[in-house]
Amino acid sequence: MSTASTAPVPVSRVHHWAAEADVLVAGNGCAGASASIEAVAAGAEVLVVDAAGGWGGATAMSGGEIYLGGGTSVQKACGFEDSVDAMYAFLKLATGPDPAEDKLAVYCEGSLEHFDWLVRCGVTFVPKLWTNPSWEAPTGYGLMYTGGENAYPFADLVPPAPRGHIVDMEGKQPGERSAGWMLMKHLAATQERAGVEVRYNTRTERLVVDGERVVGAEVVSFGERYFVRAWRGVVLAAGGFAANPAMLAQHAPKLAAPGNFLVGTDNDDGRGIRMGQAVGAAVRHMEAGQSAFPADPALLFRSLLLNGRGHRFINEDTYPGRVGQTTLFQQDRKAFLLYDEATNEEASRQAEHVVQPTWVSDDLGELAKEMGIAPEVLAATVATYNAGAARGEDPECHKAARWLRPLVPPYGVLDLRDGPYGVFTIGGLHTSTRGEVLGLEGDPLPGLFAAGRTTSGIPSWGYCSGTSLGDSTFFGRRAGRAVATA
């Protein structure tokens, strides 16, 4: 991780431009790739650099879910109606506080066009719905709920539709790793066809400024530093900051709790964000992050999720990332799953990873002692749950009836207080809907654009699977179009 200064270089100190292009894109994950493809389509000559040895960044490690809606062909083929309004209403509720209303509006309005663009890039989605609780769908399924749309409270507020579109893995070759990798493969192929020059093992270190305007950058490749002139502008698409311990401590210490692990690459060191800040960019919601709940959803949905005092605090059948965020940020990461043998067997048949409970007992009092909670509280929690479940209701947390069944001894408890939560950051540079980086007073910084997790985007605070890839590709494209005509 580079800790070299991100202070910008005045153009007067640049004596030689070793490369030039209309547009320089820093980072070749899905945001940078999308930006480069659209910038070329808008007539610009584009150079992309990436610190890694190849394309992909965190995208290539992801599950390849893209949050799309408003009535895609996949949604229709699976029998779902959806609308721009419903999509917007849901995301506004699910991504706050302070949802990015301006971005949500153009994102939902443009979702069908974006779906078509992805298909033109070679991405395919199998029109088949996956409904079992899990983080990802198996090969052969292209649609799933990824935000708790069909669970309390959202299902009562907005007509639910599944919007997690999963990039198809059919035709996967040996060594090809995930649906996110597959998305990148298609984008990189499209990028190559478009004639974009990409230089790998090339890290963007500092921006070059002419007065207030960004006119290029200093890059480093195998120890060699050189300046790249960007006639129209620079797009920062260099990922988040989950791999930067100092930035995590400063902004999002809960994400850095011991045992949590980074979902991303070592290049997610926040350098893109700091380069923007160094020329006066504003940031948004730097404390925010996605945190995957550390248990298989197949078990989570069927269990009682308890906090450190033995209380339930969320319906277990909502999006497991929402459960993870709530547990990490609101319950000090103190979580237990309580279940019984039948639950364990049923969940295990479907679970991706079968786990053993930390403690097993017929006696709730004994379990309460192990958990360090008041036995009368645990008894009351189970009694309330069981009484409701017997009549098909969850008066406390409103889990859907299909997941309810009174628990009977022996009980198992899975201790999740040490996580680990898989985390990544979602705060970053403040940008306009055109991908312009905005300054401290909200005005665009001339010549500077950004996309992906270098920015704060659609997942403003609350997260749904697919909103990061969706935001990165959608607003990456917009940044590419904007910089090409800047």
The 3-state secondary structure of 445-463 reads EEEEEECHHHECCCCCCCC
Find the binder of its own copies among 397, 416, 437, 450 (CB under 8 A). Answer: 397
Q: Min. distance of Cβ 80 from its own copies in angstroms?
A: 30
The interface with its own copies within residues 80-99 (CB under 8 A) comprises 96-98
Give CA separation, 486 vs 366, 377, 450, in Å.
67, 62, 14
How many Cβ atoms are within 10 Å of 113's Cβ, its own excluded? Answer: 12
Considering only 45, 287, 346, 415, the residue that binds its own copies (CB under 8 A) is: 287
Provide CB contacts within 8 A for 265, sequence distance 6+: 52, 57, 58, 61, 239, 243
**194 lines the binding site for its own copies (CB under 8 A):** no
Q: Which of 220, 234, 243, 283 binds its own copies (CB under 8 A)?
A: 283
200 lines the binding site for its own copies (CB under 8 A): no
Which one, 103 or 312, has the nearer CB to its own copies?
312
Q: How far is the CB of 250 from its own copies (least distance, A)?
A: 5
DSSP state, residue 280 = T
Which residue, 132 or 250, is less far from its own copies as judged by CB? Answer: 250
Rule CB under 8 A: say whether 3 interacts with its own copies.
Answer: yes
Contacts of its own copies in 341-370 (CB under 8 A): none
- 377 binds its own copies, rule: CB under 8 A: yes
Position among 157, 380, 390, 408 found at the interface with its own copies (CB under 8 A):
380
Contact status: 420 vs its own copies (CB under 8 A):
no
Q: Which tokens go with 131?
A: 């409904």
Q: Per rule CB under 8 A, is residue 259 in the interface with its own copies? A: no
166-174, 186-194, 339-347, 437-445 -> range binding its own copies (CB under 8 A): 437-445
Residue 284 binds to its own copies (criterion: CB under 8 A): yes
Q: How far is the CB of 92 from its own copies (least distance, A)?
A: 13
- Residue closer to its own copies by CB (options 34, 327) is 327
Does the footprint of its own copies cover residue 4 (CB under 8 A)? yes
Q: HSE of 312 in the Cβ direction (CA atoms, 13 Å)?
A: 23
CB of 412 to its own copies, least distance (A): 23
Strand residues in 286-354 grouped as ranges (E): 289-292, 304-306, 336-340
Supply φ then ψ for residue 266, to 5 degrees: -60, -20
CA distance 480 to 486: 10
149 to 188: interface string for its own copies, x by CB under 8 A: ----------------------------------------
Contact partners, residue 48, CB within 8 Å, separation at least 6: 24, 25, 27, 28, 32, 33, 36, 191, 196, 197, 198, 199
**Choice between 140 and 253, CB closer to its own copies:** 253
Residue among 336 and 461 whose Cβ is closer to its own copies: 461
Taking CB under 8 A as the rule, does residue 210 contact its own copies? Answer: no
> What is d(CA 445, CA 453) in angstroms, rounded to the nearest whole number?
19
Rounded Cα distance between 141 and 170, Å, is 10
Site for its own copies in 306-335 (CB under 8 A): 309-313, 329-331
d(Cα 25, Cα 44) in Å, to the nearest integer?
12
Nearest approach in angstroms of CB 289 to its own copies is: 12
Residue 10 backbone phi and psi in degrees, to 5: -65, 140
Nearer to its own copies, 61 or 423 (CB): 423
Looking at beta carbons only, is 150 or 386 nearer to its own copies?
386
Dist. CA 410–CA 69, nearest whole Å: 44
Is 381 within 8 Å of 375 (Cβ atoms)?
no
Tokens of 259: 């045992």
User: Could you give the CA distance from residue 429 to residue 445 in angstroms, rounded to a whole number?
Assistant: 12
Q: Pick the closer one to its own copies by CB: 87 or 282.
A: 282
Residue 394 CB, nearest distance to its own copies (Å)? 9
Please report how the helices 467-484 and 101-109 are oriented relative to each other, as an axis angle in degrees rounded to 10.
90
By CB under 8 A, tell whether 285 contacts its own copies.
yes
- Interface region with its own copies, contact rule CB under 8 A, candidates 293-301, 342-350, 379-387, 405-413: 379-387
Task: Rank residues 110 and 446 by Cβ distance to its own copies and give the closer one.
Answer: 446
Phi, psi (rounded to 5 degrees) for 356 = -95, 140
Does residue 433 bind its own copies (CB under 8 A)? no
**Taking Cα atoms as reference points, which of 423, 242, 415 lies closest to residue 329?**
423
- For its own copies, the binding residues (CB under 8 A) are 3-7, 96-98, 212, 246, 249-251, 253-254, 257, 274, 277-278, 280, 282-287, 309-313, 329-331, 374-377, 380-381, 383-384, 387-388, 395-397, 430, 439-443, 461
